[in-house]
């Protein structure tokens, strides 16, 4: 290569380098300008939204929320204290509101209850049910089908008349399991209180659903207690799993890499197998036809399956068998664990405060007396205001579901001067609301007297009393709230009336483990509550 040719090549290379440099500069300017415009646009959009932590590009505030998966209710409470009772989070591509004060939850649900009564379709439900995921009461979207099923629950399953007709069932199941507890006491065997409460709640639900007993004396269903308890815990944990593709759909592959589809399907198959062995809808249908063909009046008491088989939808057609199973499975799982957890926490608080336990027993004794055949009955409850206050305070301090099942808006709306697009998710932080310092003095302290001084606070309302909402609020609140409240009071009252309680050897109030664990959707006690029970002098 000659000198002239070499010189020309160097000149061309320098020109190309200069062009590359120009192109790089242009690209850098374009990228920087794009970022600046994105930030300015985000700032402008944020002016129309409630305050909240600044979102990252693409993932929004997902990184903030995912940091505290085990205590998300407390983390959101702390964020709410910083940004206010109405806080905005950008969860990936999904806008989300977090409500954490009494004033905001009251204002929102008095004006926008219907708007935020929809349910988002989640990856958990899609994997397990496919298109049927929106046919259960808890997951159905806000529309005609959900309204019909909800009305059916209100008028057929949990109406005042049905509630009254089931009083004998509740009494029998509590007495039956008290007999089991008395037998255990005679052996001086430590009592796993949570396990006993789970058995009572399960029996009550199966008696109402299918008129059969699941645990204890006279059980009519093959007992698979550990399997059933494991299935309930697995379901609640899976239902509350934070799946990133629920907020960034393009990242579904991450859920697959985590093995979530397999875990969700296994949870579903376990629940399906156990519930189908309990809820035989076709058998109920055949028995109903057989009873109808008999001329003499039957003394058979219809259970919930019988009721649902006769209850038509608006078009006159009955519920499909699959829909009946979805509905009853929802009720079975929700009703067996949550009530027992509440009573367990109440007993834990009373064990730490013997003076409150003694006061509660004295109140019960004054009403019920020392008749060895006398149990605390539902007619006694209105005469036990201190016991009611204890349960209300337990609901406040230990909400079983500290974060409500996520809601979604089905249309855009304006609230508190902010524009909220359709499909905005809504989280009601019951844990924070129950500790609102503007409503509750010493909010972290267990003090039943606060409800003795304010007996009008009604946890069953959901529309008029917003400072205590353990069963949710508005149209989506738990339809079985009255049943759960009654059962919790009866179990707690009879435990206190029938037994004196103490810690096992080596355990005191100072070293008694009261740590909590947030798994999925439920806040439960982390370790079993093991206590010693001694029948009181009036108990045979």
Task: Give the separation between CA 450 and CA 360, rounded to whole angstroms.
Answer: 15
- How confident is the model at residue 142, as a pLDDT? 92
Cα–Cα nearest to 321, from 284, 290, 292: 284
- Measure Cα distances from 93 to 60, 125, 247, 383 in Å: 7, 20, 6, 53
Would you list the DSSP string of 238-269? HHT---GGGT-GGGHHHHHHTTHHHHHHHHHH
- Listed in sequence order, the residues at least 6 apart from 168 whose beta carbon sits closer than 8 Å to its beta carbon are none
Fold of 69-535: Cytochrome p450 (1.10.630)
Find out whether 478 is annotated in a ligand binding site: yes
Cα–Cα nearest to 287, from 309, 313, 272: 309
| Three-state SS at 419 | strand
- Listed in sequence order, the residues at least 6 apart from 313 whose beta carbon sits closer than 8 Å to its beta carbon are 145, 148, 319
Task: Give the separation between CA 536 and CA 361, rounded to whole angstroms.
Answer: 11
Task: For the sheet with 530-535, list strands across it.
Answer: 191-192, 530-535, 499-502
Start-to-end C-alpha separation, the chain: 115
Q: Which two tokens stand for residue 528?
A: 């079993």
Report yes or no: 120 and 239 within 8 Å, Cβ to Cβ: no
Per-residue pLDDT of the chain (540 residues; tens, 9 = 90+): 555 565 566 555 455 555 556 656 766 667 677 666 656 555 656 667 899 998 888 888 887 777 666 688 999 999 999 999 999 999 888 999 999 999 999 999 999 999 999 999 888 888 777 666 677 888 888 999 899 989 988 888 888 988 898 899 899 889 888 888 888 888 888 999 999 999 898 888 888 888 888 777 766 665 566 777 778 878 888 887 888 888 888 888 888 888 888 888 888 888 888 777 777 788 888 887 887 776 555 566 678 888 888 887 888 888 888 888 888 888 888 888 889 999 999 999 999 999 999 999 999 999 998 777 788 999 999 999 999 999 999 999 999 999 998 999 999 999 999 999 999 999 999 999 999 999 999 999 999 999 999 999 999 987 778 999 999 999 999 999 999 999 999 999 999 999 999 999 999 999 999 999 988 788 999 999 999 999 987 776
Domain boundaries, the chain: 69-535
pTM exceeds 0.75 = yes
Q: Which two tokens stand for residue 534?
A: 């001694």
| Three-state SS at 147 | helix
């Amino acid at each position: 290569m000659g000198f002239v040719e070499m010189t020309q090549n160097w000149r061309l290379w320098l020109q190309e380098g200069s062009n590359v440099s120009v192109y790089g500069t242009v690209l850098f300017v374009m990228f920087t300008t794009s970022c600046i415009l994105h930030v300015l646009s985000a700032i402008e959009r944020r002016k129309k939204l409630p305050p909240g932590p600044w979102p990252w590009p693409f993932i929004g505030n997902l990184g903030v929320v995912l940091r505290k998966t085990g205590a998300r209710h407390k983390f959101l409470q702390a964020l709410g204290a910083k940004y206010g009772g109405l806080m905005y989070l950008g969860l990936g591509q999904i806008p989300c509101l977090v409500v954490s004060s009494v004033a905001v939850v009251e204002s929102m649900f008095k004006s926008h209850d219907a708007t935020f009564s929809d349910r988002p379709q989640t990856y958990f439900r899609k994997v397990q049910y496919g298109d049927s995921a929106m046919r259960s009461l808890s997951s159905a979207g806000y529309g005609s089908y959900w309204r019909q099923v909800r009305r059916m629950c209100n008028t057929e399953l949990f109406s005042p008349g049905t509630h009254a007709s089931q009083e004998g069932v509740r009494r029998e199941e509590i007495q039956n399991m008290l007999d089991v507890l008395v037998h255990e006491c005679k052996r001086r065997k430590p009592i796993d209180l949570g396990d006993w409460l789970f058995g009572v709640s399960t029996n009550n639900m199966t008696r109402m659903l299918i008129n059969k007993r699941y645990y204890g004396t006279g059980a009519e269903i093959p007992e698979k207690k550990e399997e059933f308890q494991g299935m309930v815990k697995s379901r609640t944990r899976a239902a509350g799993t934070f799946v990133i593709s629920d907020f960034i759909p393009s990242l579904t592959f991450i859920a697959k890499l985590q093995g979530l589809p397999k875990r969700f399907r296994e949870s579903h198959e376990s629940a399906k197998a156990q519930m189908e062995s309990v809820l035989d809808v076709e058998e109920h249908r055949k028995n109903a036809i057989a009873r109808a063909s008999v001329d003499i009046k039957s003394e058979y008491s219809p259970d919930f399956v019988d009721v649902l088989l006769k209850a038509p939808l608006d078009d006159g057609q009955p519920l499909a068998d699959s829909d009946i199973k979805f509905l009853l499975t929802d009720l079975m799982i929700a009703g067996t664990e949550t009530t027992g957890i509440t009573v367990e926490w109440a007993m834990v608080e009373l064990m730490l405060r013997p003076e409150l336990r003694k006061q509660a027993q004295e109140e019960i004794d004054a009403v019920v007396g020392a008749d060895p055949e006398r149990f605390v009955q539902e007619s006694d409850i209105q005469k036990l205001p201190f016991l009611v206050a204890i349960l209300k305070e337990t609901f406040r301090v230990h909400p079983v579901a500290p974060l409500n099942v996520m809601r979604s808006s089905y249309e855009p709306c304006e609230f508190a001067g902010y524009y909220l697009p359709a499909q905005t998710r809504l989280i009601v932080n019951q844990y924070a609301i129950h500790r609102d310092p503007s409503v509750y003095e010493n909010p972290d302290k267990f003090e039943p007297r606060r409800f003795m001084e304010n007996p009008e606070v009604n946890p069953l309302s959901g529309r008029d009393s917003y400072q205590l909402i353990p069963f949710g609020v508005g149209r989506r609140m738990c339809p079985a709230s009255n049943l759960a409240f009654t059962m919790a009071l009866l179990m707690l009252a009879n435990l206190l009336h029938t037994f004196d309680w103490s810690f096992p050897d080596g355990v005191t109030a100072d070293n008694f483990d009261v740590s909590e664990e947030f798994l999925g959707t439920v806040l439960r006690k982390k370790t079993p509550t093991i206590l010693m029970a001694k029948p009181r002098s009036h108990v045979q």
